[in-house]
Protein backbone atom coordinates (compact mmCIF):
# COMPACT_ATOMS: atom_id res chain seq x y z
CA UNK A 1 0.00 0.00 0.00
CA UNK A 2 1.36 3.41 -1.04
CA UNK A 3 0.60 4.99 2.33
CA UNK A 4 2.41 2.24 4.26
CA UNK A 5 5.48 1.88 2.06
CA UNK A 6 6.16 5.37 0.76
CA UNK A 7 9.98 5.83 0.89
CA UNK A 8 9.49 9.48 1.93
CA UNK A 9 8.19 8.20 5.27
CA UNK A 10 11.43 6.40 6.04
CA UNK A 11 14.23 8.29 4.27
CA UNK A 12 15.11 11.99 4.19
CA UNK A 13 14.63 13.32 0.67
CA UNK A 14 17.51 15.80 1.12
CA UNK A 15 20.37 13.90 2.80
CA UNK A 16 19.03 10.37 2.10
CA UNK A 17 19.60 9.21 5.69
CA UNK A 18 17.09 6.90 7.38
CA UNK A 19 14.71 8.42 9.93
CA UNK A 20 15.11 7.11 13.47
CA UNK A 21 11.41 7.22 14.36
CA UNK A 22 8.39 5.55 12.81
CA UNK A 23 6.18 7.73 10.58
CA UNK A 24 2.83 8.84 12.01
CA UNK A 25 -0.27 6.88 11.11
CA UNK A 26 -2.61 8.47 8.57
CA UNK A 27 -5.07 9.06 11.39
CA UNK A 28 -2.43 10.86 13.48
CA UNK A 29 -1.34 12.87 10.46
CA UNK A 30 -4.90 13.92 9.62
CA UNK A 31 -5.57 14.84 13.25
CA UNK A 32 -2.44 17.02 13.22
CA UNK A 33 -3.89 18.98 10.27
CA UNK A 34 -7.50 19.20 11.42
CA UNK A 35 -7.13 19.02 15.18
CA UNK A 36 -8.06 16.05 17.34
CA UNK A 37 -11.72 17.08 17.60
CA UNK A 38 -12.34 16.85 13.86
CA UNK A 39 -10.16 13.76 13.52
CA UNK A 40 -12.26 12.00 16.16
CA UNK A 41 -15.41 12.62 14.11
CA UNK A 42 -14.12 10.72 11.09
CA UNK A 43 -15.42 7.18 10.97
CA UNK A 44 -16.38 4.62 8.35
CA UNK A 45 -19.62 5.71 6.70
CA UNK A 46 -18.95 9.43 7.15
CA UNK A 47 -19.09 11.79 4.19
CA UNK A 48 -16.70 14.70 3.71
CA UNK A 49 -17.82 17.36 1.23
CA UNK A 50 -16.55 20.74 0.08
CA UNK A 51 -18.80 23.67 0.83
CA UNK A 52 -19.95 25.69 -2.18
CA UNK A 53 -18.17 28.83 -0.94
CA UNK A 54 -14.92 26.88 -0.43
CA UNK A 55 -15.22 25.37 -3.92
CA UNK A 56 -15.85 28.80 -5.44
CA UNK A 57 -12.71 30.11 -3.73
CA UNK A 58 -10.67 27.21 -5.09
CA UNK A 59 -12.01 27.91 -8.59
CA UNK A 60 -11.07 31.58 -8.20
CA UNK A 61 -7.54 30.60 -7.15
CA UNK A 62 -7.13 28.06 -9.95
CA UNK A 63 -8.12 30.69 -12.52
CA UNK A 64 -4.93 32.59 -11.61
CA UNK A 65 -2.61 29.56 -11.63
CA UNK A 66 -0.64 27.91 -14.42
CA UNK A 67 -1.94 24.44 -15.32
CA UNK A 68 1.19 22.77 -13.96
CA UNK A 69 0.62 24.32 -10.53
CA UNK A 70 -3.02 23.25 -10.52
CA UNK A 71 -1.96 19.68 -11.38
CA UNK A 72 0.49 19.65 -8.45
CA UNK A 73 -2.14 20.90 -6.00
CA UNK A 74 -5.12 19.00 -4.64
CA UNK A 75 -7.50 21.85 -5.54
CA UNK A 76 -9.35 19.95 -8.27
CA UNK A 77 -9.94 17.03 -5.92
CA UNK A 78 -11.57 19.31 -3.35
CA UNK A 79 -13.54 21.57 -5.71
CA UNK A 80 -17.13 20.39 -5.26
CA UNK A 81 -15.66 17.15 -3.93
CA UNK A 82 -17.64 14.59 -1.95
CA UNK A 83 -15.88 11.66 -0.31
CA UNK A 84 -17.25 8.64 1.52
CA UNK A 85 -14.99 7.29 4.28
CA UNK A 86 -15.04 3.51 3.86
CA UNK A 87 -12.31 2.50 6.31
CA UNK A 88 -10.46 4.09 9.23
CA UNK A 89 -7.27 2.63 10.66
CA UNK A 90 -5.78 3.82 13.92
Supply the pLDDT for residue 30. Answer: 72
Across residues 35-40, what is the average pLDDT? 73
**Residue 34 to residue 39: CA distance in whole angstroms:** 6
> For the chain, first and last CA: distance in Å?
16
**Residue 81 to residue 50: CA distance in whole angstroms:** 5
Report in angstroms the alpha-carbon separations of 16 from 2, 7, 21, 44.
Answer: 19, 10, 15, 36
Q: What is the pLDDT of residues 41-62, one digit of tens each?
A: 788 998 989 999 999 999 999 9
Position with higher pLDDT, 90 vs 12: 12
Is the pLDDT assigned to residue 87 strictly greater than 90?
A: no
**Residue 43 to residue 41: CA distance in whole angstroms:** 6
Is the pLDDT assigned to residue 38 strictly greater than 80?
A: no
Is the pLDDT assigned to residue 63 strictly greater than 60?
A: yes
Amino acid sequence: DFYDKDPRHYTCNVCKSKFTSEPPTRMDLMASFTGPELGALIDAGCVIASHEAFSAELERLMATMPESTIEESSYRCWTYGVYLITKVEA
